[in-house]
Amino acid sequence: MKSMKTSRTYVLVHGSFVGAWCWSRVVPLLEAAGHEVYAPTLTGVGERAGEATPEVGLLAHIDQITSLVEANDLRDVVLVGHSYGGMVVAGVAGRVPERIAGIVYVEAFVPKPGQSALDILPGLRDAFAGLALPERPWLFAPFPLEALGVEDPQLREWATPLLTPMLWKAVDEGLPDDAGDLSTVPTVFVHCTRGQFFDDTAHDLRSRGIPVLTLDEGHMVHLTNPGRLAAMLIEAEHELGRLTG
């Protein structure tokens, strides 16, 4: 049995086009290691796609996850954000820093106050705009999983029907200016070296002395290699402990 001293509470926040289901093979591994895990679906996407409206964006998602942390009186939380989820966890850490042990960004946006996801990767603006749904232009269609590094055809066959459009406001809305000084929040970045989006982010963070852990995986590592990701999240949590120790 795990000692209570070594157990952590993880809150896993997914990225665009998916829902809590994307963590379905990661959560049991973290729980088996003795950790408490929350993996909510963000409003308006994934299993909650029916709740999508033009008004749902980043601030709504920050409110949602902050409410989850407060309603469950979670403390010493390891926030994990994948891709767009990095925007959300940064906002949550700014709202309730006293409840947060640290942030683990997995192939994720690492924003500064005022920045949106599209400010960080402006090249995505035209790509997303080209995928806008004609009948609901405030949503854009998912990227094909193959383009995101999911090579296994059986995995693509399983996951593709679960993908849902993403909310334009979520990627275009900036992190609140009152997000606080995120430089004081212990941070680890997990860089998937076969991913195509966050090489520059990893390089920048490393140059600033922020720990960057690497995996020889593509962007959708939680789908393609959940075992390696779970092990890396535990390693990242240990790294956070060293940063605060």
Determine contact, residues 113/91, Cβ cutoff 8 Å. Answer: no
Determine the Cα–Cα distance for residues 154 and 174; give it in Å rounded to an integer: 37
Please pick, among 3, 16, 83, 207, the residue that the annotation labels catalytic: 83
The CA distance from 132 to 138, in Å, is: 7
**Phi and psi at residue 162, in whole multiples of 5°?**
-90, -10
Query: How large is the greatest C-alpha to C-alpha distance in the chain, in angstroms?
Result: 54
* Angle (deg, nearest 10), helices 58-71 and 85-95: 50
Q: Is 83 a catalytic residue?
A: yes
CA distance 150 to 207: 30
Q: Is 213 helix (H, G, I), strand (E, B) or coil?
A: strand
CB-based contact 117:109 (threshold 8 Å): yes
- 140 forms beta bridges with 132, 166
With contact defined as beta carbons under 8 Å apart, do 72 and 96 qualify? Answer: no
Compute the radius of gyration of the chain from its Cα atoms: 17
Residues designated catalytic: 83
